[in-house]
Structure 1
Amino acid sequence: MNRAERIDRYVKGDLNPEELQKFQMEMQQDSTLQQEVEDTQIMQALLQHQGLKNEIKAVRAAMKAEGSPSTVVEETPNTLSTPEEPFGVKEEDDVKAVPMFQWMGRVAAGLAIILVGYLTIQYATLSPERLYEERIANEPPYLGLSNRSMEDQEGTIADQVRVEYQFGNYEEVLRLYGELKKPTFAETFRAGYAYLEQGRTEESITAFQQVMEDQSAFMIKDKAEYYLALAYLQDGQIETAVNMLEVIHKDDDHDYEDSLGSLYLWRLRLLKMKY
């Protein structure tokens, strides 16, 4: 089987236990495969939704043809013809009136199935790593830092830290940061982001906490708070991360208030329930 066929069989539940176990192991190691599986599941849910919409249109058309707000018509094989049949009905057909609430029940049931399916997909695929990657991928590193210090002169270690950070050379940032005797809040912020990019979450948390505690760093407090929350998320401290991000979203004056959409926050709450 090629990759697409395996994804299709996985989504449909057609893999045998051995194939299923192997496929799930592959998904754990391949984030792209996870995304393809979720995209396929969502596409199937959308197709089901489209089918339901077509059924609703058919119901409306039948109601309009009947001219009644409370009934729709279904054609069933004729078993008995009588002289009392309404004018215009063919002899081989029989018209059966169906109360509108029955059709509404079918529509509601279909919508419920789609909603449950969507929630199941979201719940099954949610992880701290996934939500962290979504945010960090959409937020370029903050570059508007100034050391406000004579140490940040051309050729100094502080200046090298700044340059390497701007070019995304995070290993070099951390190496140079370790050589600084008295790093400013700007260098500590850069180191915190570099730690985050390197997956060294505990050190990243410590660095961003130090920035937030530095009174002279008030101009980048919002940035440090936001990345601190992401560091907690990457570290698996779900409740702390979610609580911080919800506070950020509610603060109209916060620099990152607009970065967190309602759907993302809903998924964060779902993640909190899951863990």
Structure 2
Amino acid sequence: MDTNNKQPDNRIIKYLDGELTGDELNDFEKTLAENASIKAELQSMKLAKSVVQHYGLKHQVARVHGSMMAELNTETESINKRGIYPFIRNTMRIAAALFGFMVLFGVYEFVSVSPSKLARENYRSYEVSIERGTGKVSAIETAYLSKKFKLAINYLKKEDSITLKEHFLGALSYLADQQPANAIKEFEVVLNKPDAASSYKDDAEYYLAISHLQNNQPKNAEELFKKIHNDKDHLYHNKVSWWTMLKIKILILKNPGH
């Protein structure tokens, strides 16, 4: 039972997100039946998730804020008639409710965010640009376009002369095939090429950041995402929001060694 209790949070989060399958799912469900503590923790997580998802916490906070401002305006107009104490009491009550919602939301985000989950949220399939084609489609590109990522990787390993585009598509294939460490190596090859600046630099930086997240390296991902977020001319600037940056900060707090 000690083995199951070492890292219950990660298994609970994966269970709620539907990421547990096969034997891992069966083992966890067996643990739930036998361990009242983990079962109680699961129920707490379900409750927090339900509040966020079904009641729209962000909208709720906005409504509370609107209500607070309305009450403040009303209280201000009648403050001389009613006195200062009801005004302070109502203000404190609304502030406490708002604070409670924010704490709940913050706890849920802190517990539920993970590098792999954030990588999935920001990953999007790359569409090969027709303008970049030379008229001849390589075997690696053909395999990538057909979503045969393992085949594209095999071609990448066998080819003697690899173009910049093929290195990039090979890196994307590694990433799609859940091999982030190899994807990182290939994206770095692309970025170190002298002609990368005029062709795949922005693309490679964004997907390299995704690869670092998938490889459980949020600190490395933060450096790239911060660069993209601060550069309004970057091709992927609009893809990296302040909310994404905040989640990465949370990941670094949770995993300071990564």
Within-5 A mapping of 1:214-229:
214-218=193-197, 219-229=199-209
Partner of 1:240: 220
Which residue of 120, 136, 143 corresponds with 2:128?
A: 143
Partner of 1:78: none
Partner of 1:273: 253
Within-5 A mapping of 1:38-187:
39-42=49-52, 43-44=54-55, 46=57, 49=61, 52=64, 56=68, 68-69=78-79, 98-136=85-123, 139-144=124-129, 146=132, 153=136, 159-187=138-166
Instruction: Report the CA distance between 1:256 and its aligned residue.
Output: 0.8
**Structure with more relative contact order (C-alpha pairs < 8 Å, separation 6 or more):** 2
Q: Give the secondary structure class of the aligned counterpart of 1:236.
A: coil
Instruction: Report the CA distance between 1:58 and its aligned residue.
Output: 9.3
Answering whether residue 180 of structure 2 is matched by residue 201 of structure 1, we say yes
- The letter for the 2-side match of 1:112 is F
CA distance in 1, matches of 2:185, 2:69: 58
For residues 104-141 of structure 1, the C-alpha deviation after alignment (integer angstroms, 9 at most, x for no partner) is 111111111111111111101010011000001xx221
Does structure 1 retain, via aligned residues, the 8 Å contact 2:13–2:112? no
CA-based RMSD: 3.5
Larger Cα-atom Rg: 1
TM-score, normalising length: structure 2: 0.72
Partner of 1:93: none
Instruction: Report the CA distance between 1:99 and its aligned residue.
Output: 2.7
Quote the sequence identity (%).
20
CA distance in 2, matches of 1:58, 1:257: 37
TM-score, normalising length: structure 1: 0.68
For residues 74-97 of structure 1, the C-alpha deviation after alignment (integer angstroms, 9 at most, x for no partner) is xxxxxxxxxxxxxxxxxxxxxxx9
Does structure 2 retain, via aligned residues, the 8 Å contact 1:52–1:107? yes
- What number of residue pairs does the alignment pair up? 221
Partner of 1:261: 241
CA distance in 1, matches of 2:70, 2:81: 13
> Structure 1 pair 265/215, CA: closer, same or farther in 2 (3 Å)?
same
Partner of 1:31: 17
- Residue ranges of structure 1 left out of the alignment (5+ in a row): 1-17, 74-96
Instruction: Report the CA distance between 1:167 and its aligned residue.
Output: 2.2
Does structure 2 retain, via aligned residues, the 8 Å contact 1:174–1:191? yes
CA distance in 1, matches of 2:228, 2:63: 40
> Structure 1 pair 55/141, CA: closer, same or farther in 2 (3 Å)?
closer
Instruction: Report the CA distance between 1:210 and its aligned residue.
Output: 0.4
CA distance in 1, matches of 2:82, 2:63: 19
The structure in which a higher percent of residues are helix is: 2
